[in-house]
Structure formats: C-alpha cells, structure tokens
C-alpha cells in the first residue's frame, strides 16, 4: 500500500452516512484506510465527535447547495468567483486559517453524494450555456489535501471536461498532481498554490504543508504540461523582516516560472473577525502578528492599517512587475483607493475585476 502523506496519517476514525456508504468516494477511502473500519450513521443519526484530538474523516450526504458565490463583501472589490462546495475543514492547521473559527472540531467533512453535485452543476451550467464560470473548491477546505484518499478533484475535473465554459481552480498548500491525467483541456484547469514569505510558510503553516520550493516545483511541472498556474499571497502578514521575506519568495517564483505561465496572482492582507483572533491567541500563542496594528474595516473585519497595507502591496507588486507580471496582479477585498495607490489604476481601468479575471482565467 502506498504510504499516505503525513498530513493524512493522523486520521483515527472514518464515519460515513448510510446513504453514501457505497459511493465511489467511500469505496476509495476504504481501500486507502483499510485499518480503519468505517462507522455507518443511520439516516437522522448525528456524528458525535466529542473533544477528539485526532482527525475524523466524515463522508457525508450533503443536502445544501454545492455551487455558491464566494462570501466576498460588497464593500470592496471582489473577484466574483464561485465555489464548488466539496467539503469542510482541513488537517493542515495554518495559524491564520479562518476555518478554525468556523469549525471548532477536527472533523474533516467530505460531501460523498457526488451524484447530487453532478446534477446541480449540470443544471446550472446547462441553463446558461453561453455564460462562463470561474469556479474553485479551496474556500472551506484545501482543494487537494484529501485528494490521496478521496480522488474528489479528479472526479470533478473529469465531470467538468464536458463543460468547456467552466474553468476550475484548484487551490492548495500540498503537492498532489494525481488528477493531471484526466484533464481534457489544460486551459480549463488552473492549479494554484498559496505563497508567503519563507518565515511565514515555515512558522505559521505547521510543517505539513509542502515547502514553497515544493509548491513552485509542482507549479513548474504543471506549466511544462501546458497548464497556467495561479499564485495567492493571502494572507500577507506584517512581521519584522517582511521585505526580505517577500522579496525572496518573488525571486523563487521567477526561478521556477515564466510570467506567461502565470494566469493571475492575488494579494490579500491578513484580516480577521474577533472570533479568529481569539482562536489564534489560544491555539497559536507564538504567533505574534495577531497583535499588530489593526483597524476595523467597513465590513467589520480587522485589517492592518491602510498605509501599512499599501506599503506591503506596493513592495510586492513592484517586485512582481519587475519580473514581468502586471495585468495578472490583483488585490483581494480592497477599495479603489488602495488599488490606485498600489497599481496606479482601478479595476474599472481593467474592465471590471470580475470580467478581467474571467479573461485571465480563460487565457485571453
Ligand atoms: S491549507 Fe488553507 S484551509 Fe488548510 S489550514 Fe491552511 S489556510 Fe486553512
């Protein structure tokens, strides 16, 4: 049996809803974790996770909407992409992760009723055959962290192969390229990795994520296979030595990738609600950035003071521009004023952020 990645070795229980006990996802999990006998929950029975200190994998029959709008905010320039909701929670536990405020347990949920997912997606995409979609799965979980067990992204890519109007972004901090051989058209899949300063990747991402080098090496493999990749500097963190750190990461990017191999690069400053601050202080007492100079934004979230944000964004944008990127760069959840101060232009100058990123995603 192939050894599982270390970030999956902590799974101590598998629980499955009876309705999906024979689903392809459940069958794969059985094969990959033969030493764990799945507990089957009858219809209406709830999972009791107690105060589990180890990860529980829960294959669930999901009854909500799978295709959703990104929970961006109307107050700032939002990128307008849609989420394909495939599950919730993540075993990687980055110190800054918003999921620790959403899900205060160690239950990794996977929506195993994929037939319902396929039905909903088909209805949405077939009802609007002329509309293009930019979708991604990395909002409530990491897109690929459970891939070695579930093969979920592989299934999704195979399914979406019949819908050329859809571009799927797979956003991750691990390296798993096992989905690659089912891609029909590499221009419709955007592998994406989170980037940060090396000190943040080393100390705030808990050691089980792939290193920045490994992420960029995987991005290069994808680029050589004809994919364009995305990079996300989100959250950027203000810490002593941030200039050298982010400059080093930019150097590494251009050691691995040519500008034309990159579809887009986002930049977002660390932002948080009070709940997340409490979680970070409790769970990661060594993470000093949480005590930085924050101010409440019009969306109610705490964010770094604007002059400090602009300074960081400008520094990073200038370095990326020197490497040959320009129209690929965008800011996550920032106002026109901040855009202007960083890039000397607003999303309107690009035809609107939604349209611009759609064009970038589809390689126009
Ligand atoms: S990889 Fe992403 S989803 Fe997982 S813990 Fe880190 S920030 Fe959260």
- The CA distance from 252 to 182, in Å, is 29
How much is the pLDDT for 77?
Answer: 54
Task: Decide if 306 contacts 298 (C-beta within 8 A).
Answer: no
pLDDT above 80 for 200 = yes
Q: In the chain, pLDDT over 70 holds for what percent of residues? A: 96
* Helix axis angle, 306-322 to 242-256, nearest 10°: 30
Q: For 19-55, write each residue's pLDDT tens digit.
A: 999 999 999 999 999 999 999 999 989 998 766 678 9
Average pLDDT over residues 150-162: 98
Q: For 82-117, write each residue's pLDDT tens digit.
A: 999 999 999 999 999 999 999 888 999 999 999 999
Say which DSSP state 334 is in: B
The verdict on the CB of residue 276 being under 6 Å from ligand 1 is: no
How much is the pLDDT for 274?
Answer: 87
pLDDT above 70 for 78 = no
Give the atom of ligand 1 at the shortest distance from the alpha carbon of 172: 1
Instruction: Report the C-alpha dihedral over residues 135, 297, 243, 354, rounded to 10 degrees.
Output: 30
Backbone angles phi, psi at 207, to 5 degrees: 80, -15
How much is the pLDDT for 72?
Answer: 60
How much is the pLDDT for 1?
Answer: 53
Distance of CA 103 from the midpoint of ligand 1 (Å): 12
CA distance to 243, 246, 252, 284, 289, per residue, from 240 (Å): 8, 12, 20, 18, 10
The verdict on the CB of residue 93 being under 6 Å from ligand 1 is: yes
Task: Decide if 329 contacts 262 (C-beta within 8 A).
Answer: no
Distance of CA 107 from the midpoint of ligand 1 (Å): 14
The verdict on the CB of residue 267 being under 6 Å from ligand 1 is: no
Mean pLDDT of the chain: 94
Phi-psi domain of 151 (left: phi exceeds 0; alpha: psi -120 through 50; beta: other): left
| CATH numeric code, 62-102+131-361 | 3.80.30.30
The verdict on the CB of residue 146 being under 6 Å from ligand 1 is: no
How much is the pLDDT for 71?
Answer: 65
How much is the pLDDT for 69?
Answer: 83
């Amino acid at each position: 049996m192939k050894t599982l990645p270390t970030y999956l070795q902590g799974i101590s229980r598998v629980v499955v809803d009876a309705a999906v006990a024979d689903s392809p996802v459940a069958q794969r999990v059985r094969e990959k974790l033969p030493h764990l006998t799945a507990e089957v929950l009858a219809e209406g029975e709830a999972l009791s996770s107690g105060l589990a200190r180890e990860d529980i994998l829960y294959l669930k029959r999901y009854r909500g909407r799978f295709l959703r709008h990104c929970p961006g905010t109307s107050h700032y320039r939002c990128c307008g992409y849609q989420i394909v909701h495939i599950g919730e929670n993540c075993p990687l536990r980055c110190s800054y992760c918003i999921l620790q405020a959403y899900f205060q347990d160690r239950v990794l949920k996977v929506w195993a009723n994929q037939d319902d997912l396929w039905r909903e997606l088909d209805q949405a995409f077939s009802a609007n055959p002329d509309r293009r979609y930019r979708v991604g799965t990395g909002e409530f979980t990491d897109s690929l962290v459970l891939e070695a067990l579930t093969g979920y992204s592989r299934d999704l890519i195979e399914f979406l192969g019949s819908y050329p109007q859809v571009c799927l972004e797979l956003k991750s901090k691990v390296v798993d390229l096992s989905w690659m051989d089912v891609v029909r058209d590499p221009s419709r899949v955007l592998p994406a990795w989170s980037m940060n300063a090396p000190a943040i990747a080393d100390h705030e991402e808990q050691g089980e994520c792939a290193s920045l080098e490994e992420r960029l090496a995987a991005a290069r493999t994808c680029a050589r296979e004809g994919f364009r990749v995305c990079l996300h500097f989100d959250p950027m963190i203000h810490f002593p030595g941030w200039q050298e750190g982010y400059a080093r990461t930019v150097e590494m990017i251009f050691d691995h990738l040519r500008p034309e191999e990159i579809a887009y690069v986002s930049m977002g400053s660390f932002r948080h609600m009070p709940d997340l601050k409490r979680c970070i202080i409790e769970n990661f007492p060594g993470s000093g950035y949480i005590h930085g100079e924050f101010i409440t934004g019009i969306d109610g979230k705490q964010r770094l003071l604007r002059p400090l944000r602009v300074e960081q964004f400008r520094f990073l944008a200038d370095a990326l521009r020197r490497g040959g990127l320009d129209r690929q760069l965008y800011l996550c959840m920032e106002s026109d004023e901040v855009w202007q101060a960083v890039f000397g232009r607003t999303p309107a100058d690009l035809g609107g952020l939604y349209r611009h990123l759609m064009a970038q995603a589809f390689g126009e």
